Amino acid sequence: MAEAAVPQDAAPPKKSKKPLLIALVVAVLGGGGAFYATFSGMVGGSGETAKMGADDGHGGGAGAMASVAFVPVTPVVISLGEASSSRHLRMSAQLEVGPAYSVEVTHLMPRILDILNGYLRAVEVAELQNPAALVRIRAQLLRRIQIVTGEGRVRDLLITEFVLN
């Protein structure tokens, strides 16, 4: 008749917080390691991608100047027609290329000028007068030039003059 009295209000034994702390430390270290691996180019891209941050020609490392060449594009003057208040469009540009490709791109300059003339003549005068349209026009011209010259030869199109007279 003597039963052991088990209290009803007894709290269960506390669980250890040690596994939670270990999981938290492992998660932080894993996240930091993943960030470093991605940022340094070991994962998600070649080492070339990581180097672009330092040597992309935008104020980067010492090799930035050696990895860029500029090919001048002959200035283009296009008549816009009688319906517009402006009679001519004058555009000057430079092509940013790798130094190994500057001779090849210069050799293809007549084709590049043909692309520029053809596209700019097709653009509406009202769109040429819109200042925000220059970004879209530049992107369209760059893509067409890259198709003509071959992938990887022309990095960028730098418009140095865009004047409606």
pLDDT (tens digit, 9 = 90+) per residue, 135-147? 999 999 999 999 9
pLDDT attached to residue 124:
85
Distance from C-alpha of 132 to C-alpha of 125, rounded to nearest angstrom: 14
Q: Are 57 and 64 in contact (CB under 8 A)?
A: yes
Q: What does pTM read for this prediction?
A: 0.59
pLDDT attached to residue 144:
94
CA atoms within 13 A on the CB side of 65: 1
Quote the Cα angle for 8-13-17, to 5°: 150
The stretches in the chain having pLDDT less than 70 are: 1-11, 44-66, 82-86
Task: Report which DSSP code applies to 150.
Answer: -
